Amino acid sequence: MGFERTGGETVYDGLIATVRVETFRHDDGEEVRREYIAHPGAVVMLAHDGEHLYLVRQPREAAGEELLLELPAGKLDEEGEEAEETVQRELAEEVGKRARSVRHLKTFYSSPGFTDEAMRLYLCTDLYDAEAESEEDERIEVVEWPLADLDGAIAETTDAKTLIGLLWLKACTSREDV
Amino acid sequence: MGFERTGGETVYDGLIATVRVETFRHDDGEEVRREYIAHPGAVVMLAHDGEHLYLVRQPREAAGEELLLELPAGKLDEEGEEAEETVQRELAEEVGKRARSVRHLKTFYSSPGFTDEAMRLYLCTDLYDAEAESEEDERIEVVEWPLADLDGAIAETTDAKTLIGLLWLKACTSREDV
């Protein structure tokens, strides 16, 4: 079973959200109309040095969360920048590190019922200090979380991408390559 | 550090998406403006009978996915319905089962940078066949996935809520209560 896009328009174009309404025709002839939030996608970094995981705490006003514990992440909104360059830039900006080893683990949709946002999760290891980078948001706090206490971070966070990274590490702790 | 909401308005109200622009004042006096997608929230069901996990495959046109492998889920959009009632109703509608045991595992935000959508993940066990329920969407296919092959489902799916449920099971397989 397949489908093709038969039309579409932008119905709202705001600061962050672009709302699209598109029509699709399935192979059996049915036409469906879908409204969704168009998003450029994001990279998410599971960065650790073998002892600590580098997390951030930041206010998420819209979700009503004062300080949400999250993996560092960034939007893919710089024209011409490859995803792995965004990984290095955002890792430097958010936690002051760069990684000699960057490995793609998984790409996933955050909420495919209403947005096309895809998040690419990378394992970042062999870390070194970044040259001082301008940090735009002073409300982002860097947290060095002990790898030995993954359960504590899983209990604290309520962020989906962060749970995926933490559970991935927890499920794979017996494997040597993580 | 805290903040309070100081104002807000709906700037787009569509089929699915409601876009809100709100202002918040942090305790240090700074005012920030946030645009986000208001969402009623959802329940997600990790339902298994000890041998098989009940998953669905469905087209997600907006994400460009022909058949995305997902945990059954449903929006919290029925007025006056408790979350656990939505769990039972959606489980019956999507996979034809009900659960004698429903346990809340975790609540998480799907993408807290631009939406307040919160997903509540429940472990549903001690399943029995539901009375025939009307299935609204014929494109949803039920998949009985062997619990012994969690890795196969983790490799196939690209849906965040589903990865969280599958990784949760994988990380906890040594525990007796899951």
pLDDT digit string, tens, across residues B82-115: 999 999 999 999 999 999 999 999 999 999 999 9
For residue B159, what is the DSSP state? Answer: B
Tokens 């965040």, residue located? B160
What's the confidence (pLDDT) of residue B66?
86
Angle at B11 between CA B9 and CA B13, to 5 degrees: 110
Instruction: State how far the Cα of A120 lies from the Cα of A128, in Å rounded to an integer.
Output: 22
Tokens 């949709």, residue located? A109
Chain A stretch 67-96, residues whose beta carbon is closer than 8 A to a beta carbon of chain B: 67-68, 70
Check: CB of residue B23 under 8 Å from CB of residue A61. Answer: no
Instruction: State how far the Cα of A99 lies from the Cα of A127, in Å rounded to an integer.
Output: 4
What's the confidence (pLDDT) of residue A113?
93
Best residue of B115, B157, B178 to probe chain A, by most A CBs closer than 10 Å:
B115
Instruction: State how far the Cα of A141 lies from the Cα of A152, in Å rounded to an integer.
Output: 18
Q: Considering B131, B136, B138, B176, which one is annotated as catalytic?
A: B136
What's the confidence (pLDDT) of residue A16?
81
Q: Which residue has the higher pLDDT, A137 or B3?
A: B3
List the domains of chain B with CATH numbers. 3-38 (no CATH), 42-171 (3.90.79.10)
What's the confidence (pLDDT) of residue A60?
93
Interface residue A178 vs chain B (CB under 8 A) = no
Nearest to B61 among A24, A163, A168 (CB): A24
Interface residue A103 vs chain B (CB under 8 A) = no
* Tens digit of each residue's pLDDT (9 = 90 or more) over B35-76: 999 999 999 999 999 999 999 999 999 888 889 999 999 999
Instruction: State how far the Cα of A100 lies from the Cα of A94, in Å rounded to an integer.
Output: 17
Is A22 in contact with B170 (Cβ distance < 8 A)?
Answer: no
Q: pLDDT in tens for each of the 178 residues of chain A? A: 589 999 999 999 988 889 999 999 999 999 999 999 999 999 999 999 999 999 999 999 988 888 999 999 999 988 899 999 999 999 999 999 999 999 999 999 999 999 999 999 999 999 999 986 666 667 889 999 999 999 999 999 999 999 999 999 999 875 444 4
What's the confidence (pLDDT) of residue A103?
97
Residue B158: its chain A contacts at CB < 8 A? 106-109, 118
For residue B50, what is the DSSP state? Answer: S
For residue B86, what is the DSSP state? Answer: H
Best residue of A167, A169, A178 to probe chain B, by most B CBs closer than 10 Å:
A167
Q: Which residue has the higher pLDDT, B20 or A176?
A: B20
Interface residue A151 vs chain B (CB under 8 A) = no
Strands in A42-47's sheet, in edge-to-edge order, are A73-75, A42-47, A118-129, A97-109
Best residue of B94, B163, B174, B175 to probe chain A, by most A CBs closer than 10 Å:
B163
Instruction: State how far the Cα of B114 lies from the Cα of B176, in Å rounded to an integer.
Output: 38
What's the confidence (pLDDT) of residue B178?
45
Chain B stretch 43-62, residues whose beta carbon is closer than 8 A to a beta carbon of chain A: 59-62
pLDDT confidence band for B135 (50 / 70 / 90): low
Tokens for A76, please give them. 């893919």
What is the predicted ipTM? 0.94
Please report how the helices B160-171 and A160-171 are oriented relative to each other, as an axis angle in degrees rounded to 10.
30
Q: Is A136 a catalytic residue?
A: yes
Quick one: average pLDDT of B142-163?
A: 97
Instruction: State how far the Cα of B55 lies from the Cα of B84, in Å rounded to an integer.
Output: 19
Q: Considering A4, A61, A136, A138, which one is annotated as catalytic?
A: A136
Instruction: State how far the Cα of A160 lies from the Cα of A156, in Å rounded to an integer.
Output: 12
What's the confidence (pLDDT) of residue B70?
98
Model pTM?
Answer: 0.94
Interface residue B29 vs chain A (CB under 8 A) = no
